[in-house]
Structure 1
Amino acid sequence: MTRSSSKHLQQREAKYRQILVHRQQQLQTRLEKIEVDFQQPRNRDGDDRAVERNNDEVLEELGETGQKELFAIEAALDRMEEGAFGLCVKCGSAISDERLDVVPHTPFCQSCARSLQPR
């Protein structure tokens, strides 16, 4: 590996580490707010309680989605520590910057991600 390609890889990793850590912090803040909301006393009025239950269902779904993304981000950061970030976990090919720009925590290249989608 040449010096310039090694420096490029370091810069690339630093770029995505910053993006991942920032998103991780955003998700942790959101999940904490959701948890606080769940701990709030509920309204005694039946109609208001029904609305609160509906809101709770939405918050729960957002929390679950956030948890999944948080786990994916943590896995991506682990791959960075192992020196495997940016490589597809299925085929070992490099994941394009274009794909990482859209989904920085992705463990799959475009081809493998397509092959995993239900038809």
Structure 2
Amino acid sequence: MKEHQIVRKNLIDMLEELDDKLSRISDDVKHVDNPPEQDFSESAVENENNEVIDALGIAARNEVEKIKQAIHRIDASTYGKCLICGQPIKQERLAALPYANYCITCAEQEERK
């Protein structure tokens, strides 16, 4: 739909930002800029940092997938409809979370599961 083309462009911009973020995360985990620490205590801290970075990477990849799904829904003219109940997702929710799959009622029910 034509009215969703701005949202589509914004989602693509978000994808590009996340791709850059994932690239930096990947470089950090692979120690592209600095070799891994040899000292045991430094290595332990580095391992903790790697776990946090890995979690950030997982979250970013999940967000990428949600954004791609939203773009697909725009292209299929199903964007803005709840995937569970089929009712329209409120514009305020889509403004805050443009890749929302569910209306707030269904999202709350999904969280409780």
Is TM (by shorter chain) over 0.5?
yes
SS at match of 1:85: coil
CA distance, structure 1, for counterparts of residue 9 and residue 68 of structure 2: 13
SS at match of 1:72: helix
The aligned residue for residue 68 of structure 2 is 74
How far is the alpha carbon of 1:93 from its aligned partner? 1.0
How far is the alpha carbon of 1:55 from its aligned partner? 0.6
Two-structure CA RMSD over aligned residues (Å): 1.3
SS at match of 1:89: coil
The aligned residue for residue 105 of structure 2 is 111
The aligned residue for residue 22 of structure 1 is 13
Q: Structure 1 length normalisation: TM-score? A: 0.86
5+ residue gaps in structure 1?
Answer: 1-8
How far is the alpha carbon of 1:53 from its aligned partner? 0.5
Match runs of 1:1-119 below 5 Å: 10-11=2-3, 13-40=4-31, 41-118=35-112
CA distance, structure 2, for counterparts of residue 78 and residue 93 of structure 1: 18
- How many residue pairs are counted as aligned between the two chains? 110
54-63 or 38-47, larger mean C-alpha shift: 38-47
How far is the alpha carbon of 1:19 from its aligned partner? 2.0
Q: Structure 2 length normalisation: TM-score? A: 0.90
Give 1:24's aligned amino acid.
L
Q: Show structure 1 runs of 4+ deviating over 3 A.
A: none
